[in-house]
Structure 1
Amino acid sequence: MTNHSGYIYAVATADTKGRELFYVSDCLQRAGAEVVTVDLSTQSVNTPSEADFPPALIADFHPQGREAVFCGDRGRAIDAMALAFKIFLSQRRDLLGVIGLGGSCGTALITPAMQALPIGVPKVMVSTMASGDISGYVGASDISMIYSVTDVSGLNRISRRVLGNAAHQMAGAVLFPVTEDHNDKPALGLTMFGVTTPCIQTVSAMLEERYDCLVFHATGSGGRAMEKLVDSGMLSGLLDLTTTEVCDYLFGGVLACDETRFDAVANSGIPCVISCGALDMVNFGHPSTVPAKYADRLFYHHNAQVTLMRTTPEENVAMAKWIAEKLNRCEGYITFLIPDGGFSALDAPGQAFWSPEAREAFTSTLEANLQQTSRRVIRRLPFNINDPQFARAAVNEFRQLANGGY
């Protein structure tokens, strides 16, 4: 079974990993896939590259030409080649999937281009770095990271098996693609955390007959993934009800968004209902990972590896100002719903994070800083975010926005 509609791109720095690159290429071809090889070497070598796309050809895609890559400085060369490869790969119209191999430098060279590809295009990265923190390599994309076990340096009884398995994983993804879902329902993005789960489940149940509801875990990467789909035009609206990633971004938590949070909404203009889900907490790992400066704060030990810190009134003021500044740039229809009865399951009467003072600090600051217009409004509701009445209000607001506004 061979797919002739395009190619798998196998990528590595062939000056040091040529044997491994061509071994993977052979495995792919034996599996029935069409493959081309790409060499991202940044060091000058005496022998010409045997890859289908040699380094000089890739380097020519850099905005400043190949001289930006072959500059003699290793760090600058890697950054430049990564950019050149990203541009090169974005222009390939015959690409069915990408498989890369590398150590720290090779992984840094290859994965930015993978991240820029659409969700759903198969992406496999065999890396010596895959057993550590891979968030910088994966980003908000669907890259499959495979730990190489041994260094990617020669073929042996371990590397042959690992590289072969990776090649077969890629071949399987390309030769046996998931059947396209011909569901014509528009797609919505929803953000959820454990402490806002009842809300999102109720919202999804109310909307799923009319919409394809895509729920994103608000872990930093979850929000980025959702906004990447917005930028790609794949979502028709958002119920961004769990914005807790902002807490971690501003106050050093481990599930942080970045400075681009909410930019996709501003750029796209899609209808959006936003709320304060889990803005009552900053996320850390094991208690030993909490910064010393927070030693006297209120904590809730969610489990052995998750420690939650209650946000203060002062922090709620800072969050409200940051969010308002972002949303003031949005020209589409936006409703910001404030659940006066609590921002999470823990921010409820009798629960650990119940704090009317902190909530009011957020609400009054948002009302003072968000520039309300005919398209951008704040609504206060006398419910906890997990109250079914709040979920129903959020759904009704979204339906109104999707039908052309207020």
Structure 2
Amino acid sequence: MVHVVLLGTCDTKLDELLFLRKAIQGEDPNVGVSLVDVGRAETKHEAITYKHSDLIENYGKGQKVDGLPRGELIKSMADYATALVKELYNKTDGTYIDGIVSAGGSGGTSLAAAVMRDALPIGFPKLIVSTVASGDTGPIVEETDITLMYSVVDVAGLNQVLRNVLSNAGAAIAGMAKSYASRRTLSPPVVKTRVGITMFGVTTPAVDAIRKHLESKHSVETYVFHATGHGGKAMERLVREGGLDAVLDLTTTEVCDLLTGGVMSAADDRLEAAAKAGIPNLVSVGATDMSNFGPKSTVPERYKSRKLYEHNPVVTLMRTSQEEAKEVGSFIAAQLRQHARDQAMIEVWLPKGGVSMIATPDGPFADASADEAMFKAINDGLDGSDIQVKEDAREINDSSFARDIAESLMEKIRVYRTP
């Protein structure tokens, strides 16, 4: 039987959750539903599969939560539900869960999203009907594949609008779960080497050339991540989950945003996952000539006098200064050196002809002194390590540079797989 986990605060949303449960089962009677109560207080109903008290007793060491402040309550119940859902997902007795769904307001959404992000891998069906789904959803989804459906009205009393939305949600999660379950029974696909590549608009020619070369000349399946902050986080997450065999981290621009306060930072653990995993990991400095901001009017006052470039109406780029470039280089070197499980599996490529499409000698972001400061910081930071630094006269988007860095990655993969 296909099985869906339904998360919700039964003390405040029981009627709505029961309607969603019925909508899921009404779509297909062969889809089972386990209702998990993550509310503040105990609710008694025969449809609740995992009661509030079950979570407290089994995963919370029996500590009462009903008196906690709202924020602490949400975190605690999310932790307990995460432990339960992980357990259900990892069961080896032939029973499976095939999807997870929730419905609620901002608090319930925050709780459900934390469970989905932390307990389940990318590719597992995840759906939240939420009152905040039309706002800033980045903190909810983060680097995962959670699907959000806007509830339009509050999840507070059944009416025709909410019934329609919940009915759609029930049909959607039932369909996703059935599809996921059917893929479990298929023959395993032909195994290819899974390579993650980071890309930005100004490094697209290089990534396209790398991708086509790897896919046509080698048995490789490429996963391209747009280096917008969440893209870098998603790649790091997949590495941690064992979903990638090697990384060609061509575009490390997210480090610039981390250090300058740009809008596309991937946080301060960027570059750690592949290094810690010890897998083949080629790193370059694509698009490190820039930090990213929104429309020109949103650029912070302290940067108004800097060299700015309107990439499009909603993205303004700021040229990295010499001092900032040095910081970027030092950060990259420190991350790789500190976290490398096997330094011999890491190479850093420095395209001295230009680190992006607009940083070539005649480009608007050409700044040889800034680039040289970054290159020197990387060389100095990795000096004496087993991490090889390759300085190359070509620009990053040169097709021969792309081919050579792709082949160098394949050589690392061959060495990695040689007993």
2:205 counterpart residue number? 198
Q: C-alpha root-mean-square deviation of aligned residues, in Å?
A: 1.7
Give, in whole Å, the separation in 2 of the partners of 1:49 and 1:348: 67
Shift of 1:364: 0.6
Point out 4+ residue stretches in structure 1 off by more than 3 angstroms: 47-50, 177-181, 371-374
1:101 counterpart residue number? 103
The C-alpha deviation readout for 1:338-379, integer Å capped at 9, x for no partner, is 0001110010122110110110010011111124534x1100
Give, in whole Å, the separation in 2 of the partners of 1:317 and 1:69: 49
Aligned in 2, Cα 1:61/1:133: closer, same or farther, shift over 3 Å?
A: farther
Give, in whole Å, the separation in 1 of the partners of 2:308 and 2:189: 47
CA contact (8 A) 1:14 1:49 kept: no
CA contact (8 A) 1:339 1:383 kept: yes
Count of residues paired in the alignment: 399
Greater share of helix: 2
Give, in whole Å, the separation in 1 of the partners of 2:68 and 2:268: 33
Classify the secondary structure of the residue corresponding to 2:377. helix
- Are 2:65 and 1:69 aligned? yes
Give, in whole Å, the separation in 2 of the partners of 1:80 and 1:61: 13
CA contact (8 A) 1:68 1:77 kept: no
Shift of 1:197: 0.3
Give, in whole Å, the separation in 2 of the partners of 1:56 and 1:170: 27
Give, in whole Å, the separation in 2 of the partners of 1:98 and 1:83: 16
Unpaired segments ≥5 residues, structure 2:
none
Give, in whole Å, the separation in 1 of the partners of 2:16 and 2:360: 57
2:415 counterpart residue number? 404
2:231 counterpart residue number? 222
Give, in whole Å, the separation in 1 of the partners of 2:253 and 2:169: 36
Classify the secondary structure of the residue corresponding to 1:307. strand
CA contact (8 A) 1:10 1:37 kept: yes
Aligned in 2, Cα 1:66/1:131: closer, same or farther, shift over 3 Å?
A: farther
Give, in whole Å, the separation in 2 of the partners of 1:303 and 1:59: 51
- Are 2:368 and 1:356 aligned? yes
Shift of 1:174: 1.3
- Letter paired with 1:223: G
Instruction: Write the mapping of 1:292-371 to structure 2, written as runs, cut at 5 A.
Output: 292-328=301-337, 329-332=339-342, 333-371=345-383
Identity %: 37
Classify the secondary structure of the residue corresponding to 1:66. coil
* Aligned mate of 1:43, from 3, 18, 41: 41
- Are 2:180 and 1:170 aligned? no
Shift of 1:7: 1.4
1:84 counterpart residue number? 80
Shift of 1:70: 3.1
The C-alpha deviation readout for 1:195-225, integer Å capped at 9, x for no partner, is 0000000001110132001111111111111
- Are 2:171 and 1:160 aligned? no
CA contact (8 A) 1:60 1:84 kept: no
CA contact (8 A) 2:229 2:266 kept: yes
Classify the secondary structure of the residue corresponding to 1:208. helix
CA contact (8 A) 2:126 2:146 kept: yes
Classify the secondary structure of the residue corresponding to 2:251. coil
Unpaired segments ≥5 residues, structure 1:
none
Q: What TM-score comes out, normalization by structure 2 length?
A: 0.92
Shift of 1:61: 4.4
Give, in whole Å, the separation in 2 of the partners of 1:60 and 1:264: 34
CA contact (8 A) 2:142 2:230 kept: yes
2:271 counterpart residue number? 262
1:243 counterpart residue number? 252
CA contact (8 A) 2:275 2:281 kept: no
The C-alpha deviation readout for 1:100-159, integer Å capped at 9, x for no partner, is 111111011111110121111100011111111111111111000111110011111110
- Are 2:387 and 1:379 aligned? no
CA contact (8 A) 2:209 2:402 kept: yes
- Letter paired with 1:146: M
